Amino acid sequence: MYKTRNDLSANIREQSIALLQKRLADAVDLFTQIKQAHWNVKGPNFIALHELFDAVAQIVEDQGDLLAERITALGGRADGTARVAAKQSAVAEFPFDITTGVAHVAAVADRLGAFGASVRAAIDSAAQFGDADTADIFTEISREVDKQLWFIEAHLQADK
């Protein structure tokens, strides 16, 4: 870790950095997976989904930036390359054999939901080891992931 005047103990910062790094890997991976849907969706709702996926991907990319900046603010090194993300991400692989809008929507919804769950767990972890600011960042991300999941899932709930 780098020296910092941040008054959190080294132990708390180390725990936070490790937790943030896991979620950063997820965010980088999730961003690329949503872009996969954006580039490859087909069907009658193409343009709406193409644009929606692009907007959601941008939000996830911004969340990754927030996570990386917190890592470095705590004295850590943010490792956010595609190769690191591929090795560390807990997000399930995106299915490459789909093309329809509904299949892409379901795949994105599954991954957003899983990311949201891991971020919510991170809120509790950060709070337990005494880093309220990191817990707050995870809370901010959680709220936005839930909102984006709502936008995505609305396409799956129309017939209910």
pLDDT tens digits along 41-88: 998 899 999 999 999 999 999 999 999 999 999 999 999 999 999 999
Structure tokens at 46: 């193409």
Q: Are 6 and 13 in contact (CB under 8 A)?
A: yes
- Answer yes or no: is 160 within a domain: no
- The number of folded domains in the chain is 1
Query: CA torsion 95→101→107→110, rounded to 10°?
Result: 180
Evaluate whether residue 5 is within a structural domain: no
Inside any domain, residue 67: yes
Q: What percent of the chain has pLDDT over 70?
A: 98
| Residue 2 is assigned to a structural domain of this protein | no
Residue 22 lies in a domain: yes
Residue 60 lies in a domain: yes
Both tokens assigned to 115: 């990311």
Q: Which range marks the domain in which residue 49 is found?
A: 10-153
Burial bucket for residue 101 (CB in 10 Å: 0-12, 13-18, 19+)? buried
Residues of the chain with pLDDT under 50: none
Give pLDDT, residue 1. 81
Q: Among candidates 11, 1, 10, 20, which has minimal Cα distance to 123? A: 20
CATH number, domain of 116, equals 1.20.1260.10
